[in-house]
Amino acid sequence: MWSGEDNLDNEIAEFVEQIDYALSFAFKEKWKHRFSSSFINIFQEKIMTALKRKKPFKLSTLEATYITKYNYKIEYVRDFFKCINISLYKPLIVDDRYKRRTSSL
């Protein structure tokens, strides 16, 4: 195997570990005191849905779900994204927020 394949294998393994951790009880325990169990459940359910459908989802959709459906404040939601480093969940969660802002100009 050439080194590019090894690197890809490592990236895939790290991504799978990250998803596994996000769905774990340990993840919920770590964040529930700061964000609440129900808040974490929403995140875990969205990940499970994406995996079952084999389709990624947009960060803006996740953000809108928290804000409109569950009435969380945007600052609270974005703080969660920052704390968990939401970029680690790419390609399962696609950050489309920048594209929307620039296309509306």
Q: Are 22 and 47 in contact (CB under 8 A)?
A: yes
Residue 96 has pLDDT above 90, yes or no: no
* 103, amino acid identity: S
Residue 36 has pLDDT above 50, yes or no: yes
Q: Are 44 and 28 in contact (CB under 8 A)?
A: yes
CA distance 87 to 75: 17
Average of pLDDT values for 72-80? 98
- Top pLDDT among 5 and 55 is at 55
pTM: predicted TM-score of the whole model, two decimal places: 0.84
State the angle between helix axes of 25-35 and 3-22 in degrees (0 to 180), rounded to the nearest 10.
Answer: 60
CA distance 102 to 98: 6
Residue 67 has pLDDT above 70, yes or no: yes
pLDDT value at position 78?
Answer: 97
CA distance 101 to 14: 31
Average of pLDDT values for 32-57? 96
- Top pLDDT among 99 and 94 is at 94
Residue 25 has pLDDT above 50, yes or no: yes
